[in-house]
């Protein structure tokens, strides 16, 4: 039996079947449905409580500093402390040879004794002549001379006593004692050295390190801005929290102890345009040393209803103006010009341009234009939002 070819089958089926097959082969596929609006990821904004802080650079300063200098001349006999050791107030540091000053004290004591010995005779003669003047046995001039001699003898006693006190004071300066408690530095002299009273080079410097001061500089412009914001009511601050200060060490690690703001200087430095803030920190382990560079974290205030926008949803135009695209209630894209504050983690503190409930677009921004229809779906929550404590914002 012969197998029919495709051409034979067409001929066998007839012209009507051939025309139907040709029409079926040339038919077009059905058109797909029109595309819907693009899907974008949004973050819905809500007011948050934010503690705003600022980091200020500064250096540590000793709480007390005493440069020990001799108050009398002499040969240094001995040093009684170890360099770099802690000393207590009143502890003996150096001993100056006291022999010359002991001799001066003895000489002053002898001069006082001589002056005191002349007083009884002068007093007796003055009293005797005073009685004889009344009976006209002696002249008035003689009695006055006797009174003058008595007063001179008494003045000699007072002068000799003052000389003795001075000699004793000079002798008391020969042992050099620590004026404050603290840590001693390097000694500039050794035993046998000749020292002079009030010499320009101190024998040793003692510094009290616990507690310790931290002096930081804040620009006068920042001081004015902070006062303006606090007076406007945007930020709130109580005195206790305003005086609490935290510290970051040179390597960025936080210091274990919290400090207190002592005072703010009233003078603006003309060269830097800044004012000095002085803080005091406990330093029981002497981890903070004088002259160390640190950063103080000072609380500016609390914003009870801050608006924080994710950084991936904020862009800038060629002129540097910040703006964000928002999915409106009608499903259309809106462009909002923003006034930004500081960065807090992965978000911007928004001063104006956005409000609670706005849906900021963070995903699918590449081909969006204002006025486009979009389908908004919640985006993944940015890091540090879900379940986080009140945000803390720091400016540098």
Whole-number pLDDT of residue 21: 47
175-189 residue pLDDT tens: 999 999 999 999 999
Range with the largest mean pLDDT of 22-26, 176-180, 303-307: 176-180
pLDDT the model gives residue 234: 60
Q: How confident is the model at residue 298 (pLDDT cuts 50, 70, 90)?
A: confident
Q: What is the pLDDT of residues 335-352, one digit of tens each?
A: 889 988 888 888 888 888
Task: Write out pLDDT tens, residues 115-147.
Answer: 888 888 887 777 776 666 666 656 666 667 777
Domain spans in the chain, listed from the N-terminal domain onward: 39-50+304-395, 53-62+208-303, 70-97+174-201, 99-172
| Strand, helix or coil for residue 126 | helix
**Domain topology for 70-97+174-201:** OB fold (Dihydrolipoamide Acetyltransferase, E2P) (2.40.50)
Query: Mean pLDDT across the stretch 9-24?
Result: 46
> What would the two tokens of residue 248 be?
């970051």
Q: Mean per-residue pLDDT for 234-248?
A: 72
What percentage of the chain has pLDDT greater than the value 90?
A: 35
Q: What pLDDT, in 10s, does the model give residues 343-393? A: 888 888 888 888 899 999 888 888 888 888 888 888 865 444 444 445 556
Superfamily of domain 99-172: Helix hairpin bin (1.10.287.470)
- In this predicted structure, the answer to whether residue 394 has a pLDDT above a threshold of 80 is no
- Which tokens hold the place of 263? 């005072």
pLDDT above 70 (res 327)? yes
Residue 169 in tokens:
């004071």
CATH superfamily label, 53-62+208-303? Efflux pump adaptor protein, beta barrel domain (2.40.30.170)
39-50+304-395 CATH: 2.40.420.20
Residue 226 · residue 298 · CB < 8 Å: no
- Predicted pLDDT at 392: 59
Highest mean pLDDT (candidates 11-25, 61-75, 145-159): 61-75
Categorize the per-residue pLDDT at 1 as very low, low, confident or very high, splitting at 50, 70 and 90: very low
Verify cis geometry, omega within 30 degrees of 0, for the bond prior to 211: yes
Domains 39-50+304-395 and 53-62+208-303 share a fold: no
Q: What is the pLDDT of residue 271?
A: 83
pLDDT digits (tens, 9 = 90+) for 250-291: 888 999 998 888 887 778 878 888 888 888 999 998 999 999
Within 10 angstroms of residue 19's Cβ, the number of other Cβ atoms is: 10
pLDDT at 225 over 50: yes
Q: Please give the DSSP secondary-structure letter assigned to residue 203.
A: S
**pTM for this prediction:** 0.68
CA distances from 19 to 13, 14, 15, 176, 262 (A): 11, 9, 6, 128, 102
């Amino acid at each position: 039996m012969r197998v029919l070819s495709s051409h034979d089958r067409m001929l066998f089926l007839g012209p009507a079947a051939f025309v139907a097959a040709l029409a079926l082969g040339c038919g077009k596929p059905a058109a797909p449905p029109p595309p819907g609006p693009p899907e974008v990821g949004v973050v819905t904004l809500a007011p948050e409580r934010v503690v705003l802080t600022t980091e200020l650079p500064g250096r540590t300063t000793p709480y007390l500093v005493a440069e020990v200098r001799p108050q009398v001349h002499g040969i240094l006999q001995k040093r009684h402390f170890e360099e770099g050791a802690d000393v207590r107030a009143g502890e003996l540091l150096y001993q100056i040879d006291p022999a010359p000053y002991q001799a001066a004290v003895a000489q002053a004591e002898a001069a006082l004794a001589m002056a005191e010995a002349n007083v009884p005779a002068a007093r007796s003669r003055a009293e005797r002549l005073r009685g004889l003047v009344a009976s006209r046995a002696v002249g008035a001039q003689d009695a006055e001379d006797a009174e003058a001699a008595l007063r001179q003898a008494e003045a000699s006693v007072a002068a000799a006593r003052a000389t003795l006190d001075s000699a004793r004071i000079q002798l008391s300066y020969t042992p050099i004692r620590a004026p404050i408690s603290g840590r001693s530095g390097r000694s500039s002299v050794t035993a046998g050295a000749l020292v002079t009273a009030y010499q320009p080079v101190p024998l040793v410097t003692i510094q009290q390190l616990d507690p310790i001061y931290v002096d930081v500089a804040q620009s006068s412009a920042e001081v004015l801005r902070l006062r303006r914001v606090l007076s406007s009511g945007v930020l709130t601050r109580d005195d206790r929290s305003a005086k609490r200060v935290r510290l970051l060490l040179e390597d960025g690690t936080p210091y274990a102890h919290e400090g207190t703001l002592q005072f703010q200087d009233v003078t603006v430095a003309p060269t830097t345009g800044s004012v000095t803030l002085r803080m005091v920190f406990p330093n029981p382990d002497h981890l903070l040393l004088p002259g160390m560079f640190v950063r103080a974290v000072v609380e500016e205030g609390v914003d009870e209803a801050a608006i924080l926008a994710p950084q991936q949803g904020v862009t800038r135009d060629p002129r540097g103006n910040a703006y964000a695209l928002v999915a409106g209630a009608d499903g259309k894209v809106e462009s909002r010009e923003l006034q930004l504050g500081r960065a807090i983690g992965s978000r911007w503190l928004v001063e104006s341009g956005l409000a609670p409930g706005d849906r900021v677009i963070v995903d699918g921004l590449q081909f969006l234009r204002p006025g486009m229809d979009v389908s908004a779906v919640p985006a993944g929550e940015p890091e540090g939002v879900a379940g986080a404590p009140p945000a803390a914002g720091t400016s540098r």
